């Protein structure tokens, strides 16, 4: 039986070395590929709802994709917002778009996704994050902190609550009826939602880096903490959050998505990293996915993950029941004119093959193979790649 080790590489000019790897296996989603540049340059946020993906596409505004065929998304609608779209949240037939300082909040009717229509807008400070719940919208407004608006009548937005965080509010999230706001160098702020029109601060945690995003699962908050990597904080007692673990190899952490015992961290130029957080005290990077541009944001729908990158690409990864436990960390690929495509692979024992395909539709072809009975790190080359090849590489093992 030929089993696929989940060691897939989207070709990238980025070169790096081997990451540490642990003895405990973990599962990594299978990288399917995805269209580069479909959302235009600078995609920064994504929200998946049913058969549609809504992309906050920077200067391109709101881009709507039909993802019925998940491996071949189709652009069906665009709304060119006046600013730089950084985040998007969908509720009902409305899209709430954080649109920087020029556009601030944009509310767009997406009932007919092929022809989105303007509903309302509001100018504030630089809106970086947006969330809607009930008939309230919550904004992370940079130096303006947290802002709460009643949109019961979307054409007449009413401010109901404000909390001026000390520095630069970067994101706003709601988990289990608790509101979390990240604030650059001021840390994490936690709010009670007993009165959703005026959230009340009940806790704060000052992080070490530039805090850009948070995902809460159970008792832990997972923080994308800039140069300080992924931080894991126990927030079971909101008044006294406690740091329990940190992974510094996820440096330049920008966004984070947690699913089960895995945290997926967008780390800018160093890729989209999968971190095993089954032991929150000692989180370990298990896989790195290199995208067309810097990883910006991700969403999960069903068994698929949708990751947008800075080049406007929408990258698709999928869980698979036929996948086996990953036994090594995925390593950054490299390329040179003399060595061709090169990858460093920690191996155990068995027969391995380096395979390549030029596109999602193309068949996999074996470029080199070897067998080993000893564990260690093996350098694997595709010496025939005397020019940087397009497409995807993977390692397989019998």
- Of 220 and 322, the structure prediction assigns the larger pLDDT to 220
Q: Tell me how far apart the alpha carbons of residues 190 and 153 are, in angstroms, rounded to a whole number.
A: 28
Task: Name the pTM for this structure.
Answer: 0.81
Which of 2, 21, 15 minimizes the C-alpha distance to 287?
A: 21
Task: Name the DSSP letter for residue 329.
Answer: -
Which of 364, 385, 389 minimizes the C-alpha distance to 11?
A: 389
Q: pLDDT-derived band of residue 191, with 50, 70 and 90 as boundaries?
A: very high
8 Å CB contact between 81 and 97: yes
pLDDT at 286 > cutoff 90: no
> Residue for token digits 């089960």?
260
- Of 310 and 244, the structure prediction assigns the larger pLDDT to 244
> Residue for token digits 């590929």?
33
Strands of the sheet with 284-289, listed across from one edge: 255-259, 262-266, 272-276, 284-289
Helices (H), 93-202: none
pLDDT of residue 200: 98
Mean pLDDT of 214-226: 97
> 285 by DSSP, 3-state: which?
strand
pLDDT tens sequence across 238-266:
999 999 999 998 889 999 999 989 999 99
Q: Tell me how far apart the alpha carbons of residues 253 and 215 are, in angstroms, rounded to a whole number.
A: 13
Question: How many other CB atoms sit within 10 Å of the CB of residue 360?
Answer: 14
Q: Tell me how far apart the alpha carbons of residues 24 and 331 are, in angstroms, rounded to a whole number.
A: 17
> Residue for token digits 């019961």?
152
8 Å CB contact between 7 and 392: no
Task: Name the DSSP letter for residue 215.
Answer: E
Query: Which residues, other chains included, contact 321 with Cβ-Cβ below 8 Å and sequence gap of 6+?
Result: none
pLDDT tens sequence across 2-48:
333 334 444 433 322 223 333 334 567 877 777 878 998 789 999 99
Query: Which residues, other chains included, contact 348 with Cβ-Cβ below 8 Å and sequence gap of 6+?
Result: 327, 328, 375
Query: Which residues, other chains included, contact 218 with Cβ-Cβ below 8 Å and sequence gap of 6+?
Result: none
Quote the Cα angle for 149-104-184, to 5°.
Answer: 90
């Amino acid at each position: 039986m030929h089993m696929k080790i989940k060691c897939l590489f989207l070709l990238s000019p980025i070169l790096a070395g081997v990451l540490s790897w642990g003895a405990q296996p973990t599962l990594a989603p299978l990288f399917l590929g995805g269209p580069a540049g479909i959302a235009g340059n600078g995609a920064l946020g994504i929200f998946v709802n049913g058969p549609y993906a809504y992309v906050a596409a920077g200067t391109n505004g709101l881009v709507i994709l039909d993802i019925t065929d998940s491996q071949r998304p189709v652009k069906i609608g665009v709304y060119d917002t006046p600013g730089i779209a950084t985040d998007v949240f969908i509720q009902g037939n409305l899209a709430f778009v954080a649109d920087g300082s020029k556009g601030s909040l944009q509310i767009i009717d997406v009932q007919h996704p092929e022809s989105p229509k303007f509903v309302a807008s509001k100018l504030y400070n630089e809106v970086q994050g947006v969330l809607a719940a009930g008939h309230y919208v919550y904004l992370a407004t940079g130096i303006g902190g947290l802002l709460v608006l009643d949109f019961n009548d979307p054409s007449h937005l009413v401010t109901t609550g404000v909390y001026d965080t000390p520095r630069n509010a970067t994101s706003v999230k709601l988990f289990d009826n608790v509101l979390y706001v990240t604030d650059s160098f001021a840390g994490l702020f936690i709010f009670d939602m007993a009165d959703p029109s005026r959230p009340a601060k009940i806790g704060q945690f000052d992080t070490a880096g530039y805090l850009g995003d948070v995902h809460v699962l159970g008792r832990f908050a997972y923080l994308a903490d800039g140069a300080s990597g992924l931080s894991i904080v126990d927030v079971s007692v909101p008044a006294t959050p406690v740091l329990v673990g940190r992974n510094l190899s996820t440096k330049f952490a920008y966004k984070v998505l947690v699913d089960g015992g895995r945290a997926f961290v967008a780390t800018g130029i160093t890729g989209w990293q999968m971190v095993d957080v089954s032991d929150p005290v000692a989180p370990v990077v298990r896989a790195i996915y290199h995208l067309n541009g810097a990883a910006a944001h991700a969403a999960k729908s069903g068994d698929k993950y949708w990751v947008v990158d800075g080049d406007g690409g929408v990258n698709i990864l999928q869980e698979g029941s036929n996948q086996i436990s990953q036994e090594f960390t995925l390593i950054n690929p490299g390329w040179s004119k003399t060595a061709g495509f090169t990858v460093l692979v920690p191996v155990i024992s068995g027969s391995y093959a380096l395979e390549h395909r030029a596109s999602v539709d193309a068949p996999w072809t074996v470029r080199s193979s070897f067998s080993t009975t000893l564990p260690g790190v093996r350098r694997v080359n595709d010496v025939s790649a005397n020019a940087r090849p397009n497409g995807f590489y993977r390692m397989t093992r019998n």
